[in-house]
Amino acid sequence: MKTVVITGSSSGIGKAAVLAFAQAGWNVAATMRSPEKENDFKAISNVKLYALDVTETGSIASALQAIKNDFGKVDVVVNNAGFGVDGVFEAMTDEVIEKQFNTNVFGLMRVTREAIKIMRAQKGGTIVQIASMGGRLAFPLYSIYHGTKWAVEGFTESLQYEVAPFNIRMKMVEPGAIKTEFYGRSRQFIKPTDTTAYDSFIQKVEKVSMGAGETGEAPAVVAQAILKAANSTSSQLRFPVGKPAPLLLWLRNRLPDTWFFKLVKASYKI
């Protein structure tokens, strides 16, 4: 029976992934900052909760060691923990920017580093990074969020070469617009308080962005892609999932920059 570790399991894609892996017969280590608040997983025999905060190195090391002790090995680690900040870059403080990168990039790197130590010693494993279609293309008002996801893409693509000799596979799942709290209560939108210069632009972009969230696919769709990536023994690195990710990424790879930028501007009417 294989064991998977999933970070950010308390909601959205992480929660859906826990249920998908559990149903597929895996041992699931569902990690989150406050496992005592989680009730939905208690009745599932092959799911065990662990406290893990990706912003604290000690928390990561102790959680992964406890999981290895409990299950004997760690076959797959899914780096799902993250959140999104959008809005006007001019109005973003250093604190906001650093918090976004600390979770989405440095947190992912911390977990990846600890996972490699365990997997190298056990002679294999798979690390699945939850990236985004926004790690290979960009939309307005998501500058620092895109910055984190582009960083994850570059980091993971490079890292695959150095861990391959240890039979460690790197995978990236790239969701499109998914209906989660990314567009709801967990959203952090930054708007200037000292100028109205951006108001018209914000109004146009917000209408399209929030509409995409409302019509997005369910987290369960991404969970199945994560399960597929975890089971993959091929050299495939990227797994786009959820409309419109596959189509937009295909277009981004084939259209000249100026054509793609015109397409984005037209869709937002900016």
What does DSSP say about strands 168-175 and 238-241: parallel, antiparallel, or unpaired? Answer: parallel
CA distances from 205 to 31, 92, 117, 201, 210 (A): 34, 18, 43, 6, 9
Annotated catalytic residue within 48, 149, 171, 179: 149
Annotated catalytic residue within 48, 50, 142, 145: 145
Give the HSE-up count for residue 3: Cα atoms under 13 Å, Cβ half-sphere. Answer: 20
Nearest residue to 39 via CA among 59, 11, 63: 11
126, with CB counted inside 10 A (0-12, 13-18, 19+), is buried
Nearest residue to 21 via CA among 128, 157, 115, 112: 128
Q: Is 145 a catalytic residue?
A: yes
Nearest residue to 50 via CA among 16, 62, 73: 62
The letter for the amino acid at 19 is: L
* 165 three-state secondary structure: helix
Which residues contact residue 113 at a Cβ distance below 8 angstroms, ignoring those fewer than 6 apart?
none
Q: Is 262 a catalytic residue?
A: no
Cβ pair 221, 241 in contact under 8 A = yes
The two three-digit tokens of residue 222, written as one number:
């991404």
- Cite the active site residues: 145, 149
